[in-house]
C-alpha cells in the first residue's frame, strides 16, 4: 500500500512537470508568405513555357484571384490559376506574343493559410524575347474635386495607339492598378510613346464606356525612355553634347510630372543611383457631367411633398402639369433648387394631398445620339400610403397634427455673428413679430431686445431672427402660437427657451494671405471636410475669417477658371481637365482670442 501511494505521488509530480514544460505558443505570425523558387525563374527571357510554378515557404490561399490578378499586356483569355499544396500554378489559355514582356500582378490575392497575412502586389515577370523591358510609370491618383486618394483599386491603362478614341474602343497595351493609398506602378514597359489613363472600370472590360465611370488622363502623350528620364533629372547622357537642363520637374500641360515625390515599393534590387527607368506622374480622377437630360429620381416621402431630381439643370423649355382626377384645380407651391436641377411641389389642399397617387406630366428638351435637341415627355406617378401601427377603435379621434418649429437648443449657445434660425416642417406662409418676445437678462432682469424676423431668402421653410447680440450674455425667447404660420393650417405649441451667447474672446480668427492669384479663386474654409464658408477672391492680399469656434480647420482653393462660382468637372473627348483645386498643406488649430496668420502661394 505504501509503495502504491509513492507511485501515485511520483506520477503526479511527473505530470506536473510535463505541464509546466509545455510550449506557450509564441508570438503571432505577421509575415506574409515568401517565394522559395519559381519555375521558370522570375524575370526570365526567351520564355516558351505553357505554365508557371511558384513555390512558397508556407501554405497559401487565393482570395478573389480572378479580380485581383492583372496581366499586362492583357490576354484575351485569362490564365488559369490554381494551387497544389504550397505551389501556385499558372497555365496559359492562349499563345503568347513574340518579343513581349509580361507582368502578372496578384494584388491582394495571395495570403497565408493560417493568419491571412497578404503578400501585396507580388509580380511575376518574363519576356518571350531576348530583352526584359524595364521602364516604369509610377505616381498617385487623387479625386479632382476633393483631392482625396481613392481607397478602392483603379485601373491604370497605357496605349501606344495615340488616337483620342482608344479608351472608348480599344483594350490597353499595358495595365496597372492603384493601391489603397492611391499609389500606382505600371512596370516592365518597352520604351515608347503612350497615352495614359486611369479608369474606375464599372464593368471590368478596360473600356471607358459608361457615363458613371471615373476617368483621369494626361493632356498629351508621354515619351517613356531613359533619355527623357535623364532630361527630367538633369543628368547628362554618356554621349551628351553638354546641353544643360535647368529644371527638375516638368509640366505636361495641366498634369505635373514629378521625379522625386513618390516612393513606390519594388521587388527588384535597390538602385544605388538615380532611377533612370521610372517616370512619376499625378492623375486627377473625375466623373464627366452628363450631357443627357433625364429624371434622376422622384419621391413622395411626405404626402404633401413631391420631389423630382434631374441629371442637368432645367432649361426654359421645361413644362409640367398635374393630370387631374376631377374638375377641381390642384393648388401647389413650387420650389426650384439653386441650380434648377430639382423641383419640389407642395400640394396645398388636403383633398388632393390625401390622395394615394398623384400624376404629373413633364416636357423637357434632351440631346439625341446625333447631338440634336428634341422634346420628350414623361409621366410620373407619386404614391403615398399612410403608415398605421395599430387598428383604431371607432371611439378614437384623429391625433391633432402640430407644426414643428426647431431652433437653438434650450441652454445652448447662439453665435454672435449669426442670425437665429427658426426651421419649419413646411414652407412658411407668414411670421408675426408681435407674437415673439426676446429678452436680454443681465443680473436677472429681463430687458426687451429689438429684433426683426423675416423669411429666409433661400429656404422656404426658414425664418431668420436678427438682433444685436451682446457678448457672454443670457437671453430668453418666447414664441406664442400663431407667430409662425406655414402654408398649411397647423399651429405650433408655445416655444419657451433660454440660451446664451459666447464671449467675444471665445472666438479665434484666421488671417489668410494669398499670393499668386491670377484669376478668380473660391476659398473654402473646411472643418472635417464640411464647408464652413466660401469666399471669392481675384487678387493677392489678406483675407479675414473671423468668429471661428476653436477647432481644427483647413482650406481648399478652387481655381474657378470659367467664373461660374463653383467647381466644374472635365470632359475627355473635349480635352477639358477638371478645374484645379489645392489644399493648404497643413490644418490650422484655432484657439480662443487668437489671430492665426496663414500664407498660401497658389500654383500657377
Report how far residue 30's alpha carbon sits from residue 119's, in angstroms, rounded to the nearest whole number. 11
Cell numbers for 278, please give them. 521610372
Q: What is the pLDDT of residues 353-387, one digit of tens each?
A: 999 999 999 999 887 767 778 888 999 999 998 87
pTM: 0.79
What are the distances in angstroms from CA 425 to CA 340, 403, 405, 459, 492? Answer: 22, 7, 7, 12, 11
Report how far residue 506's alpha carbon sits from residue 547's, in angstroms, rounded to the nearest whole number. 8
What is the DSSP code string of 485-523?
A: EESSS-PPPPEEEEEEE--GGG-EEEEEEEE---S-EEE
Q: Look at residue 87 and tell me whether its pLDDT is greater than 80.
A: yes
177-191, 219-233, 490-504: least confident range: 219-233
Please give the DSSP secondary-structure letter assigned to residue 3: H
Mean pLDDT of all residues in 334-352? 94
Mean pLDDT of all residues in 425-440? 96
Report how far residue 288's alpha carbon sits from residue 285's, in angstroms, rounded to the nearest whole number. 10
* Per-residue confidence (pLDDT) for residue 93, from 0 to 100: 87
Mean pLDDT of the chain: 87
Mean pLDDT of all residues in 394-414? 83
Q: Would you place residue 18 in the very low, low, confident or very high pLDDT band (cuts 50, 70, 90)?
A: very low
How many C-beta atoms lie closer than 10 Å to residue 433's C-beta?
13
Mean pLDDT of all residues in 308-313? 92
Closest CA to 52 of 64, 68, 69: 69
CB 104 within 8 Å of CB 71: yes
Q: Would you place residue 8 in the very low, low, confident or very high pLDDT band (cuts 50, 70, 90)?
A: very low
CB 185 within 8 Å of CB 281: no
What is the DSSP code string of 424-467?
A: ESS-EEEE-GGGEEEEE-GGG--EE---EEEE-SS-TTEEEEE-
Mean pLDDT of all residues in 524-553? 96
Report how far residue 233's alpha carbon sits from residue 68's, in angstroms, rounded to the nearest whole number. 34
- Only one residue has cell 493559410, namely 113
CB 559 within 8 Å of CB 516: no
CB 297 within 8 Å of CB 174: no
CB 434 within 8 Å of CB 464: no
| 497 beta partners | 477
Report how far residue 387's alpha carbon sits from residue 403's, in angstroms, rounded to the nearest whole number. 19
CB 324 within 8 Å of CB 332: no
Closest CA to 276 of 234, 306, 215: 234
User: C-alpha angle with apex 355: 352 to 360, nearest 5 degrees?
Assistant: 75
How many CA atoms within 13 Å lie on the side-chain side of 276?
12
292-297 long-range contacts, Cβ below 8 Å, gap at least 24? 292/211, 292/366, 292/367, 293/364, 293/365, 293/366, 293/367, 294/366, 295/362, 295/378, 295/380
Report how far residue 6's alpha carbon sits from residue 183's, in angstroms, rounded to the nearest whole number. 71
Mean pLDDT of all residues in 180-191? 93
Report how far residue 424's alpha carbon sits from residue 403's, in angstroms, rounded to the nearest whole number. 7
Report how far residue 40's alpha carbon sits from residue 54's, in angstroms, rounded to the nearest whole number. 9
* Per-residue confidence (pLDDT) for residue 26, from 0 to 100: 58
Percentage of the chain beyond pLDDT 70 is 87
* Per-residue confidence (pLDDT) for residue 361, from 0 to 100: 96
* Per-residue confidence (pLDDT) for residue 392, from 0 to 100: 55
Give the distance from CA 90 to its chain's centroid. Answer: 36
Q: Would you place residue 239 in the very low, low, confident or very high pLDDT band (cuts 50, 70, 90)?
A: low
Mean pLDDT of all residues in 99-119? 92
CB 356 within 8 Å of CB 383: yes
What are the distances in angstroms from CA 233 to CA 193, 261, 341? Answer: 19, 13, 49
Q: Are strands 70-72 and 123-127 parallel, antiparallel or unpaired?
A: unpaired
CB 600 within 8 Å of CB 514: yes
* Per-residue confidence (pLDDT) for residue 266, from 0 to 100: 37
* Per-residue confidence (pLDDT) for residue 5, from 0 to 100: 39
Report how far residue 449's alpha carbon sits from residue 418's, in angstroms, rounded to the nearest whole number. 16
Domains within the chain, CATH numbers bracketed: 35-127 (2.60.40.1220), 135-287 (2.60.40.10), 295-383 (2.60.40), 405-505 (2.60.40.3710), 507-601 (2.60.40.1120)
Closest CA to 162 of 99, 72, 71, 223: 223
* Per-residue confidence (pLDDT) for residue 391, from 0 to 100: 55
Report how far residue 220's alpha carbon sits from residue 237's, in angstroms, rounded to the nearest whole number. 25
H/E stretch holding 470: none
Mean pLDDT of all residues in 578-586? 96
Q: Would you place residue 258 in the very low, low, confident or very high pLDDT band (cuts 50, 70, 90)?
A: very low
Q: Look at residue 241 and tell me whether its pLDDT is greater than 80.
A: no
Q: Would you place residue 226 in the very low, low, confident or very high pLDDT band (cuts 50, 70, 90)?
A: confident
* Per-residue confidence (pLDDT) for residue 273, from 0 to 100: 60
Q: Would you place residue 389 in the very low, low, confident or very high pLDDT band (cuts 50, 70, 90)?
A: low
CB 130 within 8 Å of CB 171: no
Closest CA to 299 of 240, 238, 345: 345
Q: Would you place residue 234 in the very low, low, confident or very high pLDDT band (cuts 50, 70, 90)?
A: confident
* Per-residue confidence (pLDDT) for residue 27, from 0 to 100: 67
Mean pLDDT of all residues in 519-547? 96
Amino acid at each position: 500500500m505504501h509503495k502504491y501511494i509513492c507511485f501515485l505521488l511520483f506520477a503526479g509530480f511527473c505530470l506536473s512537470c510535463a505541464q509546466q514544460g509545455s510550449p506557450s505558443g509564441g508570438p503571432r505570425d505577421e509575415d506574409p508568405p515568401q517565394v522559395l523558387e519559381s519555375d521558370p525563374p522570375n524575370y526570365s527571357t526567351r520564355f516558351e513555357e505553357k505554365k508557371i510554378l511558384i513555390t512558397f515557404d508556407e501554405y497559401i490561399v487565393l482570395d478573389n484571384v480572378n479580380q485581383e490578378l492583372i496581366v499586362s499586356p492583357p490576354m484575351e483569355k485569362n490564365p488559369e490559376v490554381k494551387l497544389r499544396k504550397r505551389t501556385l500554378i499558372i497555365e496559359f489559355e492562349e499563345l503568347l506574343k513574340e518579343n513581349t514582356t509580361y507582368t502578372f500582378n496578384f494584388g491582394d490575392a495571395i495570403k497565408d493559410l493560417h493568419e491571412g497575412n497578404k503578400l501585396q502586389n507580388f509580380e511575376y515577370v518574363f519576356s518571350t524575347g531576348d530583352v526584359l523591358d524595364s521602364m516604369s510609370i509610377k505616381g498617385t491618383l487623387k479625386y479632382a474635386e476633393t483631392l482625396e486618394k481613392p481607397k478602392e483599386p483603379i485601373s491604370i491603362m497605357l496605349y501606344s495607339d495615340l488616337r483620342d478614341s482608344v479608351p472608348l474602343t480599344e483594350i490597353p497595351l499595358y495595365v496597372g492598378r492603384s493601391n489603397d493609398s492611391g499609389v500606382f506602378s505600371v512596370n516592365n514597359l518597352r520604351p515608347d510613346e503612350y497615352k495614359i489613363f486611369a479608369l474606375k472600370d464599372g464593368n471590368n472590360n478596360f473600356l471607358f464606356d459608361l457615363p458613371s465611370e471615373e476617368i483621369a488622363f494626361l493632356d498629351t502623350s508621354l515619351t517613356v525612355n531613359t533619355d527623357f528620364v535623364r532630361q527630367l533629372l538633369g543628368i547628362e547622357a554618356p554621349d551628351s553634347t553638354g546641353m544643360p537642363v535647368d529644371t527638375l520637374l516638368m509640366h505636361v500641360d495641366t498634369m505635373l510630372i514629378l521625379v522625386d515625390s513618390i516612393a513606390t515599393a519594388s521587388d527588384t534590387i535597390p538602385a544605388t543611383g538615380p532611377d533612370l527607368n521610372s517616370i512619376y506622374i499625378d492623375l486627377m480622377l473625375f466623373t464627366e457631367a452628363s450631357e443627357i437630360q433625364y429624371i434622376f429620381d422622384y419621391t413622395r416621402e411626405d404626402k404633401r411633398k413631391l420631389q423630382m431630381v434631374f441629371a442637368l439643370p432645367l432649361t426654359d423649355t421645361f413644362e409640367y402639369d398635374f393630370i387631374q382626377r376631377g374638375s377641381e384645380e390642384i393648388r401647389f407651391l413650387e420650389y426650384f433648387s439653386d441650380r434648377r436641377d430639382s423641383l419640389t411641389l407642395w400640394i396645398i389642399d388636403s383633398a388632393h394631398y390625401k390622395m394615394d397617387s398623384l400624376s404629373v406630366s413633364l416636357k423637357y428638351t434632351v440631346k439625341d445620339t446625333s447631338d440634336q435637341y428634341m422634346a420628350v415627355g414623361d409621366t410620373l406617378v407619386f404614391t403615398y400610403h399612410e403608415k398605421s401601427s395599430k387598428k383604431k377603435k371607432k371611439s378614437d379621434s384623429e391625433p391633432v397634427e402640430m407644426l414643428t418649429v426647431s431652433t437653438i437648443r434650450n441652454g445652448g449657445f447662439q453665435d454672435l455673428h449669426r442670425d437665429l434660425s427658426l426651421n419649419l416642417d413646411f414652407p412658411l406662409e407668414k411670421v408675426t413679430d408681435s407674437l415673439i418676445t426676446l429678452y436680454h437678462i443681465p443680473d436677472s432682469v429681463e430687458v426687451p431686445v429689438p429684433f426683426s424676423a423675416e423669411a429666409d431668402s433661400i429656404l422656404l421653410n426658414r425664418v431668420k431672427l436678427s438682433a444685436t447680440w451682446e457678448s457672454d450674455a443670457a437671453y430668453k425667447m418666447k414664441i406664442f402660437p400663431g407667430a409662425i404660420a406655414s402654408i398649411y393650417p397647423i399651429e405650433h405649441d408655445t416655444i419657451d427657451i433660454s440660451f446664451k451667447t459666447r464671449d467675444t474672446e471665445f472666438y479665434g480668427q484666421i488671417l489668410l494671405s494669398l499670393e499668386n492669384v491670377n484669376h478668380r479663386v473660391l476659398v473654402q474654409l473646411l472643418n472635417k471636410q464640411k464647408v464652413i464658408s466660401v469666399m471669392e477672391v481675384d487678387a493677392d492680399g489678406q483675407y479675414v475669417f473671423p468668429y471661428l469656434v476653436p477647432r481644427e480647420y483647413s482650406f481648399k482653393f478652387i481655381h474657378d477658371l470659367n467664373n461660374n462660382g463653383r467647381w466644374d468637372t472635365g470632359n475627355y473627348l473635349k480635352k477639358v481637365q477638371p478645374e484645379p483645386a489645392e489644399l493648404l498643406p497643413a490644418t490650422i488649430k484655432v484657439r480662443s482670442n487668437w489671430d492665426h496668420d496663414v500664407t498660401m502661394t497658389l500654383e500657377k
